Amino acid sequence: MIDVLTRYKNLDYPLPRTNLAWRMHEAGVENFGKTGKPDIIPLRRPNRNEVLVRVDAIGICFSDVKLITQGSSHPRITGRDLAKEPVIPGHEVSLTVVEAGDDYKSSYKPGDRFIVQADVYYKGVNLAYGYALEGGMQQYGIVGEPVLSGDEGSYLIPVKPDTGYAEAALVEPWTCVVAAYRIQPRKTWKSGGVVLIVQIESADYRFDSELWSAGLPHKILFSGADETVVSLVKSALGPSVQITELPSVDSDSLRSAVNAHTDGSGFDDIVVLGTPQPELVENLAAALAKNGVMAILAEKPITRSVKIDVGRVHYDYIDIIGSRSHRVIDAYSKSRTSELTPGGAAWFIGAAGPMGQMHVQRSVRMKGAPAKILCTDVDNSRLDYLRAAVDTAARDRGIDIRYVNPTQVTQEELNKIIEELTSARGFDDIVIMAPVVATIEGAVGYLAEGGLLNIFAGVPKGTIATIDISSTYLKGNRFVGSSGSRPQDMIDTLTLTEAGELPVVNSLAAIGGIDAVAEGVRAVKEARFPGKIVIFPHIKLPLTALFDLDKVAPNVFTKLRDGKFWTKEAEEELLRSRLEL
């Protein structure tokens, strides 16, 4: 007799007439679903340009919590009438094709498995899966043209048949971690962009042709520039570039210039020659376009730390760089990538949360790993969980790794630990998972020469932090952030996962069945577990921490590694004993 798991994998069972789906009818975690249960809706068959998929596993992300909490005020679904057009959240999915419409029968066969690159672009419009497009918090779903034939091709990424369902679902959050270390600085002025040059001090400044090697800017504005600088730029770039004088760079003048010369989008490049006043840096940073770069060439520190919108660093990728030299290209050419420094010292702040654990696990297993790692978190139980997941691998590779709860040591004691670990030179890399302004501000002073601060936590735009920007040109420091990922990032992460190089299932901390989705969302909001939650939509199981499975599913618990880490054997035992077909 064929067991139920084999029948499930082979789609050897009649499809149900109905589908259980968790739909948002109004904002608020307390309102998710109906009376704490999923909606029962008809199972729809695909149209000719659609594919019917089975959701095998779905991870719950804090982004889902924000969507469910904010409802129609969330920027990805702004203005949507949820009563008439409810949203099905969930983007960390493992899918199996059930049936393809006529247009896609040759591309998608029953039994084919996929994950989804959720950041979908279709005809130039961002339609994220699990937001504007129905997501994975259901048993079955329809995938349509935006996903199948988007601007970057298909957003379905093929998965090998023997990859675990939870393992596949966890690739999406791990992809965001992988993408955070792929931030490439722009090494030139933006081709076709608008440049603002603000001169504070006179010196022998140089504008080498490497600055526009990617293509000439469309327009250059000057403010306070002496005739030597203006003539130098004019003669180097030629008559095809528009040159404009900006009389002032106070906040009102900058706002007018942004509207008049950039259609309100902001300057692509801002070059500051000499040490600026802090208020000027604040005004200029606010005038940067998305993906904009501000380069400061100076030798003296700014008189105080400046207020910077760190939400824009994370979501708009604005970049503040600098150099002590008088060659503008030096600020651009010496700007480093976001990858961790091989053999360096790294500090992970908020290291023991679900995403922090992924960062640390990647760091101890990557080629060119840091030699010294500090993991700080305010939760001892989470730190113990992290230690169990990474300590052996770190020690085997000769990595000096420390775990510290900063609430249980004095600042002096923490400074002593950092001084000893880094030989008093500071950290080459600091990665922040805690969306706390004071944490971001306090971390900057611990950067080494050439060190990078990665603001991974998604602080909203408009979040102002007071930062010593002088370190960008005096010490070569850099501040970066990232949001989401692109299809190639996901393909690469899946490849590493399936090759056994990324232990994505080590980040799984709790599981549940279809009825446990709302409780899972609340648990993520309350930070109840030290790792990720994955739901298996075709079973019934209350939300359960892995280490508590001995009480509700002892047959599954015996298949865990060390009584706390998920395995493929545990998943097969779970499904074999709990599937309802």
Predicted confidence (pLDDT) at residue 484 exceeds the cutoff of 80 = no
Quick: pLDDT tens for 558-576. Answer: 999 999 899 999 999 999 9
pLDDT of 541 reads 97
Query: Could you give the C-alpha distances from 82 to 72, 79, 85, 293, in angstroms and in order?
Result: 7, 9, 5, 39
Q: Check whether residue 247 and residue 130 sit in a common domain.
A: no
pLDDT of residue 267: 98
CATH number at residue 288: 3.40.50.720
Q: What would the pLDDT profile of 174-188 be if each residue is shown by its tens digit?
A: 999 999 999 999 999
Task: Identify whether 309 is part of a domain.
Answer: yes
Cα separation of 116 and 92, whole Å? Answer: 8
The predicted pLDDT at position 34 comes to 78
Do 290 and 373 have their domain in common?
A: no
Say how many C-beta atoms besides its own lie within 10 A of residue 308's C-beta: 23
Over 80: is that where the pLDDT of 483 sits?
A: no
Same domain, 59 and 104: yes
Task: Reply yes or no on whether the pLDDT at 399 is more than 90.
Answer: yes
Please report where in the chains the tokens 């790794």 appear, as a residue. Answer: 401
pLDDT of residue 78: 82
Answer whether 541's CB lies under 8 Å from 578's CB.
Answer: yes
Give the pLDDT confidence score for residue 36 in this predicted structure.
84
Contacts 24+ apart (CB under 8 A), 565-574: 565/389, 565/505, 565/506, 565/508, 566/166, 566/505, 566/506, 566/508, 566/511, 567/505, 568/164, 568/167, 571/164, 571/165, 571/166, 572/5, 574/511, 574/536, 574/539, 574/541
Residue 367 inside a domain? The answer is yes
pLDDT tens digits, one per residue of 501-538: 999 999 999 999 999 999 999 999 999 998 999 999 99
Q: What's the domain range around 384?
A: 345-434
Please indicate, yes or no, if residue 275 is contained in any of the structural domains. yes
The per-residue pLDDT for 102 is 97
- pLDDT for res 255: 93
Q: How many domains in the chain?
A: 3
The average confidence (pLDDT) of the chain is 95
What was the pLDDT predicted at 533? 97
Look at residues 276, 298, 333 and tell me which one is the last residue of a structural domain: 333
Residues 107 and 32 in one domain: yes
Residue where a domain terminates, one of 333, 367, 389: 333
Rounded-to-integer distance, Cα 474 and Cα 486, Å = 34
User: What is the amino acid identity at position 411?
Assistant: Q
Question: Is 123 part of any domain?
Answer: yes
- Give the tokens for residue 225: 């520039």
CA distances from 196 to 141, 143, 189 (A): 49, 45, 11
Bridge-based pairing of strands 125-126 and 18-21 is unpaired
Please check whether residues 234 and 106 belong to one and the same domain. no
- Side chain identity at 255, as an amino acid letter? R
Q: Say what the pLDDT of residue 192 is.
A: 97
**The two three-digit tokens of residue 555, written as one number:** 């047959």
Q: Taking residues 160-179, what's their average pLDDT?
A: 96
Percentage of the chain with pLDDT > 90? 89
What is the CATH number for 134? 3.90.180.10
Asked if 210 and 157 sit in the same domain, the reply is no
Give the span between the Cα atoms of 87 and 71, in whole angstroms: 9
- Determine which of 47-61, 106-120, 236-250 has the lowest per-residue pLDDT on average: 236-250
400-404 β-sheet, strand order: 400-404, 372-376, 345-349, 427-432, 447-455, 478-481
Give kind and range of the element (H or E) at residue 96: strand 92-100
| The predicted structure's pLDDT at residue 181 | 96
The helix (H) or strand (E) run that includes residue 448 is strand 447-455
pLDDT: is 485 or 153 the higher one?
Answer: 153
How many whole angstroms separate alpha carbon 297 and alpha carbon 472? 10
Closest-CA residue to 110 (of 118, 119, 101): 101
DSSP strand pairing (306-309 vs 464-467): antiparallel
pLDDT at 238: 87
Our CA angle for 471, 477, 483, nearest 5°, is 125
pLDDT given for residue 50 in this prediction: 98
Give the closest residue to 475 by CA, choosing from 500, 447, 495, 454.
447
Report the C-alpha gap between 302 and 573 in whole angstroms: 62
Interacting residues of 12 by C-beta distance below 8 A, sequence separation 6+? 2, 6
Query: Are 290 and 317 contacting, i.e. CB atoms less than 8 angstroms apart?
Result: yes
Same domain, 511 and 395: no
- pLDDT of residue 376 exceeding 90: yes
Note whether 114 and 261 are same-domain residues.
no
Residue 572 domain flag: no
Strand order in the sheet with 242-245: 242-245, 219-223, 194-199, 267-273, 288-297, 319-323
Let me know whether 420 and 531 are in one domain: no
- Same domain membership, residue 234 and residue 271: yes
User: Is 523 within 8 Å of 510 (Cβ atoms)?
Assistant: yes
Any domain includes 128: yes
Inter-residue contact 401 to 359 (CB < 8 Å)? no
**Within-domain flag for 284:** yes
User: 72 lies in a domain?
Assistant: yes
Helix (H) or strand (E) holding 292: strand 288-297
The model's pTM:
0.92
Domain boundary among the residues 385, 416, 434 is at: 434
What are the residues facing 21 on neighbouring strands? 39, 138
Distance CA 351, CA 366 (A): 17
Q: What pLDDT does residue 76 have?
A: 87
pLDDT at 1 (0 to 100)? 58
Structure-block tokens of residue 444: 């900057």
Query: Within this chain, do residues 97 and 147 fall inside the same structural domain, yes or no?
Result: yes
What is the Cα–Cα distance from 235 to 227, expressed in whole angstroms?
Answer: 12
Tens digit of each residue's pLDDT (9 = 90 or more) over 431-479: 999 888 999 999 999 999 999 999 998 788 899 999 999 999 999 999 9
Q: What would the DSSP string read from start to end of 199-227?
A: E-S----B--GGGGTT---SEEEEES--H
Q: 49 and 25, same structural domain?
A: yes
Whose tokens are 């923490």? That residue is: 414
